[in-house]
Amino acid sequence: MNEQPTGRYYASKQYLLPADNVETQRLNTQHNMIVNAFGGKLFVAPTNLTTGDRVLESAAGSGIWALEFFEKNRTEGVTLDIECIDISSAQFPSTHPSEVHFSVNSVVNLPNPDWTDTFSFAHQRLLVAAMNDTLWRSAVAELFRVVKPGGWVELVEIEAQDFSTWSVGPNSTKLASLINALYGGKGVIGDLSVYLPVILKEAGFVNVQCDPRRVTIGGEVDATPHKITEVKGYGSDMWRDLWMGMKGPVIEAGGYGAVDTVEEYEALVQGTEVELKNSKEAYTIFFAILARKPENT
């Protein structure tokens, strides 16, 4: 589906961000920032992987996490077999090691029975803008099915409930309210750090834990690394590019009484960028939710 008025390419009606080259660039920059937020770690689950283990990278996007995770393990003498899935192949890398596989699949409907009890570790990052309650429950049930008994899942997400943490002026406050309406209309679950642990336990997972990391937005961030993360965080331009990516769904929904045209939305996002650059107050929270499938399943 190509959204001509916005010049962005969207692969799905349900997922609110584009699947084009501009978005690939944003995801790759954001990847580095998130890894920094987790102290330079690609994952925090207490996995103990060995050569030949199979790993699932759900919602792989550009595949940057999987490729770095594969390389890191290989340099440590562990050669993994990684399955990367996404609903769109548009951002998949053109070249990759033969042990890293890419396929078009949805996490709510993984190959069955082929992948049942297959993966020693499943990693999934930033599906917040793609899911509603029904889809999350199906995804968690599928992850439970495809992970081996004793295996871990790690779901990395961003706070999407309390937009007041980055509402630092009239534009950012208006944008926050607009995005809140967009998310509400799509059934997006904002408080995933509360919601996911509940549905993971309901699905049968144990050892469910949440590891939150506070990340500065704007400011400009590198001048004042946050005392908890001590990393750069989200530059105001990165935060701008995130919301620019949602212009298609915003305009398609009629602008929620906040904007009437693409140009008005772009001006609102640009105004937000300026407010964030000039404020030292804004932040968001990333968190990794860990859960283990019991051994005796």
Euclidean distance between CA atoms 196 and 193, whole angstroms: 6
Helices 64-75/21-37 angle, 10° precision: 50
Task: Examine residue 126 and tell whether it contacts ligand SAM (CB under 6 A).
Answer: yes
140 or 168: CB nearest ligand SAM: 140
H runs (alpha helix) in 38-169 = 64-75, 133-146
Q: Tell me the DSSP string of 11-24.
A: S-SSS-S--SHHHH
CB of 85 to ligand SAM, least distance (A): 6
Q: Applying CB under 6 A, does 273 fall inside the site for ligand SAM? A: no
Strand partners, 101: 83
* E strand spans, 20-99: 54-58, 81-86
Residues 200-229 that bind ligand SAM (CB under 6 A): none
**H/E run at residue 196:** helix 192-203
Instruction: Name the segment binding ligand SAM (CB under 6 A); options: 103-111, 184-192, 197-205, 211-219.
Output: 103-111
Site string for ligand SAM, 74-93 (x = CB under 6 A): -----------xxxx--x--
15 contacts ligand SAM (rule: CB under 6 A):
yes
Q: Is residue 244 part of the contact set for ligand SAM (CB under 6 A)?
A: no
Judged by beta carbon, residue 106 or residue 272, the one nearer ligand SAM is 106
- Asked if omega into 294 is within 30° of 0 (cis), the reply is no
**At its nearest, how many Å lie between ligand SAM and the CB of residue 116?**
18
For residue 16, what are its two tokens?
Answer: 């609110």
Q: Does 161 bind ligand SAM (CB under 6 A)?
A: no
Whether the CB-CB separation of 124 and 155 falls below 8 Å is answered with: yes
**Quick check: 130 binds ligand SAM (CB under 6 A)?**
yes
Contacts of 49 (CB under 8 A, 6+ apart): 55, 73, 78, 80, 120, 121
From 6, 8, 24, 27, residue interacting with ligand SAM (rule: CB under 6 A): 27
According to the binding rule CB under 6 A, does residue 199 interact with ligand SAM?
A: no
Least distance between ligand SAM and beta carbon 130 (Å): 4
Residue keyed to tokens 């968690």: 140
Of 78, 108, 208, 228, the one binding ligand SAM by CB under 6 A = 108
* Least separation in angstroms between CB 14 and ligand SAM: 7
Q: Which is nearer to ligand SAM, 156 or 175 (CB)?
A: 156
Per-residue contact track with ligand SAM, 28 to 47, x per CB under 6 A?
---x----------------
- What CA–CA distance (Å, rounded) separates 20 from 25? 9
Measured from the Cβ of residue 30, the count of other Cβ atoms closer than 10 Å reads 19
The residue number with the shortest CB distance to ligand SAM is 61
- 292 binding ligand SAM? (CB under 6 A): no
Write the burial class of residue 214 (CB in 10 Å: 0-12 exposed, 13-18 middle, 19+ buried).
middle
Binding site for ligand SAM (CB under 6 A): 11, 15, 17, 19, 27, 31, 58-59, 61, 64, 85-88, 91, 106-108, 125-127, 130
